[in-house]
């Protein structure tokens, strides 16, 4: 690859902005003190993150650009294979707590994927930004390990965004240009252990005190 156009791509589950794709060209990496410094910065602001690989930019008068096909070729691994960020409630906690939070996050994320709808031009999607757990993750994990079933309330922060109907949804993340709305609302959830697996399901969406509605 031409070093002047080569870029390293990260997927970041950012607690402030939601899922995002961060692109670091070689000059960015050098100016920020190397890849270790960049990853330290990402770690401080994220739930999870992972390096997806490198792509080759295309030079133009307006700068360097990348194609959607290039991003679609960088497959996103499961969260269990990503690195934990420091804003993840399970950061630094036992593996069981990490698994509990991952299952809760994945369950809410999958629930939101069912809200996707289309019109003639666009597809409308929902992305999970962050979760606020009540009671704490430690309390939920302890109760779940003891009783093997627990109910809890999760405050979910969500963004609604649009995309082209022909885009690969697994490679599509919200950006400043595509975000349409964002809100938060409480979700009642049930967690249980069955056959050694941690299972979770959304019981209901509760009435938000702010009256937020993203549909």
Q: How far is CA 165 from CA 18, 118, 174, in A?
A: 21, 8, 14
Whether residue 213 is contained in a domain is answered as no
Domain boundary among 28, 50, 84: 84
The count of structural domains within the chain is 2
pTM: 0.88
Whether residue 56 is contained in a domain is answered as yes
Q: Is the peptide bond before 135 cis (omega within 30 degrees of 0)?
A: yes
pLDDT tens across 97-154, in order? 999 999 999 999 999 999 999 998 899 999 999 999 988 999 999 999 999 999 999 9
pLDDT tens across 151-179, in order? 999 999 999 999 988 777 667 889 889 99
Q: Band of the pLDDT at 60, cuts 50, 70, 90?
A: confident
Structural domain of residue 18, as residue ranges?
A: 6-84
CB neighbour class for 20 (10 Å; exposed up to 12, middle 13-18, buried from 19): middle
Q: Which residues contact 162 (CB under 8 A, 6 or more apart)?
A: 122, 123, 124, 125, 178, 180
Average pLDDT, the chain: 90
């Amino acid at each position: 690859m031409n070093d002047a156009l080569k870029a390293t791509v990260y997927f970041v589950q950012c607690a402030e902005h939601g899922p995002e794709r961060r692109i670091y060209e070689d000059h960015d990496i050098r100016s920020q003190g190397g890849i270790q410094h960049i990853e330290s910065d990402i770690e401080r602001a994220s739930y999870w993150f992972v390096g997806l690989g490198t792509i080759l930019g295309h030079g133009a008068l307006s700068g360097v650009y990348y194609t959607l096909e290039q991003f679609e070729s960088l497959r996103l691994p499961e969260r269990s294979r990503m690195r934990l960020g420091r804003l993840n409630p399970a950061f630094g906690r036992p593996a069981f707590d990490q698994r509990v939070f991952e299952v809760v996050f994945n369950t809410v994320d999958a629930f939101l994927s069912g809200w996707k709808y289309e019109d003639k031009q666009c597809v409308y999607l929902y992305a999970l930004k962050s979760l606020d757990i009540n009671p704490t993750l430690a309390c939920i994990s302890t109760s779940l390990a003891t009783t093997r079933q627990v109910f809890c309330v999760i405050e979910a922060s969500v963004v609604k965004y649009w995309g082209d109907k022909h885009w690969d949804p697994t490679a599509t993340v919200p950006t400043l240009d595509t975000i349409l709305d964002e809100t938060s609302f409480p979700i009642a959830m049930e967690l249980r252990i069955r056959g050694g697996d941690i299972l979770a399901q959304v019981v209901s969406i509760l009435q938000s005190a702010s009256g937020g509605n993203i549909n």
